[in-house]
Structure 1
Amino acid sequence: MAGDLDTAAADQVRADDRAHVFHSWSAQAHVDAIPIAGGSGSYFWDYEGKRYLDFSSQLVNLNIGHGHPKVVQAIQEQAARLATIAPALGSDVRGEAARMIAERAPGDLDRVFFTNGGADANEHAIRMARLQTGRPTVLSAYRSYHGATGGAIALTGDPRRWANESTGQSVAHFFGPYAYRSAFHSDSEEQESERALQHLRDVVQLQGPDTIAAIIQESVVGTNGILVPPPGYLQGVRELCDEYGILLIADEVMAGFGRCGEWFAIQHWDVVPDLITFAKGVNSGYVPLGGVILGPRTYERFADRPYPGGLTYSGHPLGCAAAVASMKAFEDEGILDNVRKLGETVVEPRLQQLKDKHASVGEVRGLGMFWAIELVKDRQTREPLVPFNASGEAAAPMGAFAAACKKEGLWPFTHMNRTHVVPPCTISEDELTAGLDIIDAALDVADQHTAG
């Protein structure tokens, strides 16, 4: 429990971690991971008893919060009954999870191919699209993240791709809408939507429509800025895909399963993609699980010929049991309503107040429990608080902001020049207000690095 002191255990965790764990996205000699003892609801704590209000949902996946008793119980009961079974054999919880996911998906998407996470979900989605269309190329946006496996990192449009991109991947990138830093010199959301769609049409034409299997887009861009598409944009992408026989893949790995106040974020715009990829919030990462949701057109391509792909742990019973319990808890406890209500009545108005108060806040944007605060040195020029992809001393102002949050017991999610407000979807109004108060105070630190 929070408050229990066990310095010997903390020392052992730290020693084992430093001696034997190779960390992702890190310079290994500089890693000093905080030993974490436990978590419950919106909080987790270390072995010294310090609690952190989790405004990161870990990696924006802990939608149902830490230690939800119904999900924990479902995993325990499933482990005692049948801990694992091969994908070729029938599993009650796999079938139930697939049915429940399909019932919540838009349009006629009614079948689920289960994966172990989001990256391999995107790998299989683009494989399905290429096999269905007979075309090689996939278009994806800059300022996107689709995973770190070979194909998924090629789709990714941020600096994590640079050192990892494999050869032989037929991928082309385009600019998605981002009104605050418009690549199209737009002066309104409507203009941004129109110009971004024209740009995408130009890329399709220049790339060759008959070579393009799919366009993959995060329904709401996640790590790269929580960029909510302007009105008409996703509808326009759908129309463009239909015009040229291109499949639309909605990457809902981060934005789905309640994060934006709907089961899938794309439902905000009444758009039905050809494929949806998911992971993270489907069971809050209690057990790794992801997948691809597909409809009849894709299914029929493989009705009488084998799909050339599979995974040992596809539809793992523990992951599926957690997913079923999580979806039931979301409905029984009105969690989607909680996300919508608090997003509209607490987060949005409070972030607007922070924008008015702090010189370092250039823009706030988002929906549900999915918000970004973009920090700048100068509001007039919109110069970012830290340079693009900054590290070391150049990133110090964001480091100072994050340290101020942690000192007061809030664990933030920061990326480049932004901090994201992405707490568990189960957070209470009091907890949310307390976290925003801490961000308010920490922004005083960021303000010290502005032009005034």
Structure 2
Amino acid sequence: MTSRTYELDRAHVFHSWSAQASLDPLVITKAHGSAVWDDAGHRYLDFASQLVFTNIGHQHPDVVEAIREQAATLCTIAPQHANDARSEAARLIAGLAPEGLDHVFFTNGGAEAVEHAVRMARLHTGRIKVLSRYRSYHGGTATAVNVTGDPRRWPNDYGAAGTAKFFGPFLYRSEFDATTEDEECRRALRHLRRTVELEGPATVAAIILETVPGTAGVMPPPPGYLAGVREICDEHGIVMILDEVMAGFGRTGAWLALDHYGVRPDLITFAKGVTSGYVPLGGVVISRGIHQTFAHRPYPGGLTYSGHPLACATAVATIQVMRDERIVERSAQVGGEVLGPGLRALAERHPCVGEVRGLGTFWALELVSDRATKDPLAPYGGSSATMDAIAAACRREGLLPFVNANRIHVVPPCNVSDADVAEGLEILDHALRLGDAVSPD
């Protein structure tokens, strides 16, 4: 029987990134830990962490209680006033950033964080142009979608929005004919350097990168790449922005993904995991140099809900839970000892798996019709009958996957149990047989 919730959704809700007539959304009625339940009582392992944000799992009681307590004390206040939740959240977040990034500008989410980081970089440098990589995603608002490097940009691409693209390192589908990670790193940096030179260094305000690209394919950069980008930025007075919206707050087995690479950017954007998605919050962590630009010059930007008390109290509670329960360490452990080895074992059994990539609780399976040619099971930015069938098989057996083009992203909560990982991998094992059916192997 169709529920009233479903009927009202189809009658009145306009969904993002979707053709409205073809939608058939699950009605989710409750969630706990690494699982959600639909209105028929069916349980699903959430191996998407929704949109890769429930880093501490669903309905953590300490965070839920912190939201209740804040609501009883101070639900909301305008951003020009100080409040304890915002002050403490800013202190904790700045404390996770590299030395010298001391201030936090709060937004409602990741796209707004990117918008403001780019604005800060442009005002700080007096330049307009922003460089970003193909195979990236930075958000759906005007500037964020124009620096995005995946096909969702195309219908929204303004062409003259002051952005330019370059190829980042991705050895599996190398644009540089590289055969090793070292070659890929050196050639990708040479390509970026030439791009800066030909775009005009004096015109470039910022280079923005996802520390580990997420939606575009979970592609950890090779050793030395981010340090090389930092060097190029320093040579030309370019602001380096690292987008940690998806990769931050434990997802890669570190507090911030940049911790793996020993690099210090000028600006860091964050969102998602900072509150485990319980209440929307994002922001920009700002270096002292850029902060000084606006010490005596008003920053021309703001939001009605910047540093909203409910959101900031949620961030404080989430960070505390992550510390108390060692969730960052758990993410690293489960990735290194359980999830990573389990996914590599799947690749050995299934010829449709071309590559396994990831770290922490941030992984992707690259699915191909032929390992030799690396032909993807779906076109970049699209889907296919085979990928749709694999996703449907996962859902039938009780797994919510994160599927994008020819990839299955395996991104459970950072504190997922070994038992839930084993259950999820077993379901994937069954579903991937549908991909093997089109492989010549």
Does 1:441 find its partner at 2:433? Answer: no
- 1:411 matches 2:412: no
Instruction: Tell whether 2:285 aligns with 1:296.
Output: no
Is 1:385–1:450's contact at 8 Å kept on the other side of the alignment? no
1:421 aligns with 2:410: yes
Distance 2:276 2:382 in 1: 30
CA deviations 1:7-37 (Å, max 9, x no partner) are 6xx6101100000001111111111111110
State the match for 1:266 in structure 2.
258
**1:267 Cα deviation (Å)?**
0.9
Partner secondary structure for residue 72 of structure 1: helix
The alpha-carbon deviation at position 166 of structure 1 amounts to 3.1
Distance 2:215 2:110 in 1: 14
CA distance, structure 1, for counterparts of residue 159 and residue 300 of structure 2: 21
Does the CA-based 8 Å contact 1:249-1:274 persist in structure 2? yes
Which residue matches 1:183?
175
Question: Do residues 155 (structure 1) and 165 (structure 2) align?
Answer: no
Render the CA deviation track for 1:299-357: whole Å, top value 9, x for unaligned: 10000010000000000001001000000000000101111111000111111111111
Which residue identity lines up with residue 410 of structure 1 in the other structure?
L
Partner of residue 371 from structure 1, selected from 363, 375, 391: 363
State the match for 1:201 in structure 2: 193
Task: Look up the SS of the partner of 2:155 in the other structure.
Answer: coil
Normalising by the residue count of structure 1, what TM-score does the alignment of the two structures yield? 0.96
- Take 1:426 and 1:186, find their aligned partners in 2: how far apart are those partners? 36
Counterpart selection for 1:357 from 349, 352, 371: 349
Deviations 1:79-135 (A, max 9, x none): 111100000001100000000001111121110000000000000000000000001
- The yes-or-no answer on 1:451 pairing with 2:440 is yes
Could you say which residue in structure 2 is the equivalent of 1:432?
Answer: 421
Q: CA deviation at 1:168?
A: 4.1
Question: What do residues 168-215 of structure 1 show as CA deviations (whole Å, max 9, x unaligned)?
Answer: 410000000000000000000000000000000000000000100100
Unpaired runs of at least 5, structure 2: none
Runs of 4+ in 1 over 4 A off after TM superposition: none
Instruction: Write the distance in 2 (CA, Å) between the matches of 1:389 and 1:154.
Output: 16
Deviation (angstroms), 1:451: 1.8
Matched, 1:136 2:112: no
* Structure 2 residue matching 1:162: 3-state secondary structure: helix
Moved more, 346-355 or 291-300: 346-355
Match of 1:31 in 2: 23
Task: Provide the aligned length of Structure 1 versus Structure 2.
Answer: 441
The 5 A counterparts of 1:20-419 are 20-166=12-158, 168-391=160-383, 395-419=384-408
Cα distance in 1 for partners of 2:210, 2:381 equals 20
8 Å Cα contact 2:152-2:381 kept in structure 1: no
Q: Is the 8 A contact 1:138 1:212 kept in 2?
A: yes
* Alignment partners' CA distance in 2, 1:31 and 1:442: 22
* Distance in 1 of aligned mates of 2:382 and 2:113: 30
Where structure 1 has 5 or more consecutive residues not aligned to the other structure, the ranges are 1-6
Quick one: distance in 1 between partners of 2:194 and 2:186?
Answer: 12
Give distance in 2, aligned partners of 1:214 and 1:267.
21
CA distance in 2, matches of 1:165, 1:387: 20
CA distance in 1, matches of 2:166, 2:209: 10
Q: What TM-score do the two structures reach when normalised by structure 2?
A: 0.99
Shift of 1:64: 1.0
Q: What's the CA shift for 1:226?
A: 0.2
How far apart are 1:390 and its partner, in Å? Answer: 2.6
Comparing 86-95 with 437-446, greater Cα deviation is found at: 437-446
SS in 2 for 1:213: strand
Task: Give yes or no for contact 1:61–1:254 (8 Å, CA) kept in 2.
Answer: yes
Secondary structure at the residue paired with 2:140?
Answer: coil
